Structure 1
Amino acid sequence: MTDFDQYAEHRATQRKAVQDRIGVIDILSGEEIGHLANISLGGFMLITDRHLDLNALYQFRLTLTSPINGASNVDLGAESLWCQGTTVADTSWVGFHIIDISDENSAIIGELIDSWKG
């Protein structure tokens, strides 16, 4: 069983596959470090070519392709839980648990998820 499978079995809510390219920016460095693969109200999977420490805390800004309720970004705090390499050189999937998010930003994620069909 991979780390990805292990955490998928323990999620409170199923993640939804992302249907837009939503960039993920490290708020502290200001650099885009990857983009979302899937997301739920409790966590997300990031596709990145950067090394990210496991069991570490990050402050991220998700960049939306279209504003939701007037917002173009969602800021949140997240903890990295697992990492798995992909078949693409130097690319990894990293799983995160959302640990700090405002009610407004949580509602934006909910609306974003609801807007995707399937």
Structure 2
Amino acid sequence: MEDRRQHSRHGTELQLEVFERHSGQRLGRVVDLSAEGFMLFSDTPQTADVLVECRLVSEQEIEGVGEITLGADCLWSRPGADGQHCWAGFHIIDLAEDQAAALALLLQHL
């Protein structure tokens, strides 16, 4: 499979949880992250081709950044080997300028 990413993905030691912005529902944990998107490990199946407004929340603040708000498109979703979890890939499609700066700062620490 051809890798079309323009930015490298960073695995994270940080605990980054993803929540749906309006309902507050936990979507899962970020496995890797780039300026363009992220891979999610989830307890619930995610639906491909769905736009989600979400919050990435870090368990520890990094230089004042504890949360990033963004819009993302779920590009793909696959069940985990145990049949009880899910992996999903998201492309960031909506990111305000201040949130992009916060994401860049967070990426520097990964």
Give the TM-score, by structure 1 length. 0.84
The alignment yields a C-alpha RMSD, in angstroms, of 1.5
- State the AA in 2 paired with 1:102: A
Structure 2 alignment gaps of length 5 or more: none
Aligned length: 110
Greater per-residue strand proportion: 2
Please report how far the alpha carbon of residue 23 of structure 1 lies from its aligned counterpart in structure 2 after TM superposition.
0.7
- State the AA in 1 paired with 2:11: A
Structure 1: distance between partners of 2:22 and 2:47 = 15
| Alignment correspondent of 2:91 | 97
* Identity rate, percent: 28
Structure 1 alignment gaps of length 5 or more: none
Please report how far the alpha carbon of residue 98 of structure 1 lies from its aligned counterpart in structure 2 after TM superposition.
0.2
Q: What are the superposed Cα offsets for residues 79-101 of structure 1, whole Å, 9 maximum, x if unpaired?
A: 00011222233111100000001
**In 1, are the aligned partners of 2:45 and 2:85 still within 8 Å (CA)?**
no
Runs of 4+ residues deviating >4 angstroms: none
Please report how far the alpha carbon of residue 66 of structure 1 lies from its aligned counterpart in structure 2 after TM superposition.
2.3
Distance 1:102 1:68, change over 3 A: farther
